[in-house]
Chains A and B, each alone.
Chain A
Amino acid sequence: MLKRSVSAEILLVLFLSILTGLIYNTFSGNGIPIFYHSLGSTPDQQLTLPQLQQAIADKRALLIDARTSEEYTAGHLPDAIHIPGFAAIDQIMNAMKDISKDRQIIVYCSNVDCPFAVRIAEFLRFQEFTSVYVFSGGTDEWIGAGNSLIK
């Protein structure tokens, strides 16, 4: 008898939480998609290699390398700063604290299968950086086109 009541309580608490979570997420204004799509950037937020090269030549964009520390140390795109995809939130905020919100930012990882560039980009957009792009081809496409990484 008691057991049945405990499981009923558990189900009720879970049901109430899920219902409230759904309602809150829909109406609170800071809701997020219930299922996260790892290619969350719209096409106009993704850069092709020529666009990336143009941006690097213009020297206005801030490049962010979202790969691991080992990969970054072994070589990265010109002038890229390092924010690993699994960085703690305060680490990201700290790295970005002097960057103006409207500066063009380009995040990259190793290739299109690496989710970290998109994740960092989404986080930065959420933090109200207005011009955040992802170079989804990443270092693989960069090297594949005959460019080299900088140590």
Chain B
Amino acid sequence: MKMIGIIMRPEQASFVSLLFRFILSLVFIISALDKIASPAEFAIAVENYRIIPSVFTNTIAIFLPWIEFFCGLFLLLGIWQRGSTVIIAALSILFISAMISVLLRGLDIDCGCFGAGVKVDNYRIAEDIVLLLLALFLIKFPSEKFTLDRFPVR
């Protein structure tokens, strides 16, 4: 907590961690539920990126939302927090790169972020960069309040 101690007191930092944890987990849970409800639509959203070979787009559409869901859920509950946050950070980097590549190729597609009708644009990329920053903060300063982390893998 030394670095953060320069700008805020430890109890403030732990409040910030808790806040970030709730924001990040809720974003991931909510966005996952929509994709879980309609896998076929999400598969098309994945296909539209034209990055993954068609044969694997369904595979991604089946599993990716559940990875998001469980990471969000475990982060919310405070179980396996570091592992979940690392996955969330990795996914955010993946989403940011995919969307940048879409914009560079001039495709005009749904981002598949929160159901239909949300286009890939700079704003979406900025949003994911914010999520990535929250995740990186939480990797460095995990929230220790209100966790069930006595459920350990140690």
Q: What residues make up the interface of A, taking CB atoms closer than 8 Å to B?
A: 1-2, 5-14, 16-18, 20-22, 24-25, 30-38, 86, 88-90, 93, 115, 119, 122-123, 126
Bound form: Cα–Cα A126–B62 in Å: 16
Work out how many contacts link A and B, with CB atoms closer than 8 A.
116
Interface mask (B106-119 → A, CB under 8 Å = 1, otherwise 0):
01111000001101
Chain B interface extent, by class: 35 or more
Q: How far is the CA of A85 from the CA of B73 in the complex (A)?
A: 35
A-contacting residues, B39-84, CB 8 Å: 39-41, 43-45, 47-48, 50, 54-59, 61-63, 65-67, 69-71, 74, 80, 82-84
Task: Say yes or no: A37 contacts B55, CB within 8 Å.
Answer: yes
A72: min CB distance to chain B, Å:
15
Of B37, B55, B107, B154, the contact of A86 (CB 8 Å cutoff): B107
Q: A125 CA to B50 CA in the complex, in Å? A: 22
- Provide the bound-state CA to CA distance between A146 and B83, in Å: 61
User: Nearest-CB distance from A136 to chain B (Å)?
Assistant: 15
Is the Cβ of A93 less than 8 Å from the Cβ of B116? Answer: yes
Contacts A14-B87, A35-B58 known; 10 new A-B pairs at CB < 8 A: A1-B154, A21-B63, A25-B62, A30-B37, A32-B58, A32-B62, A36-B55, A88-B117, A89-B41, A126-B40
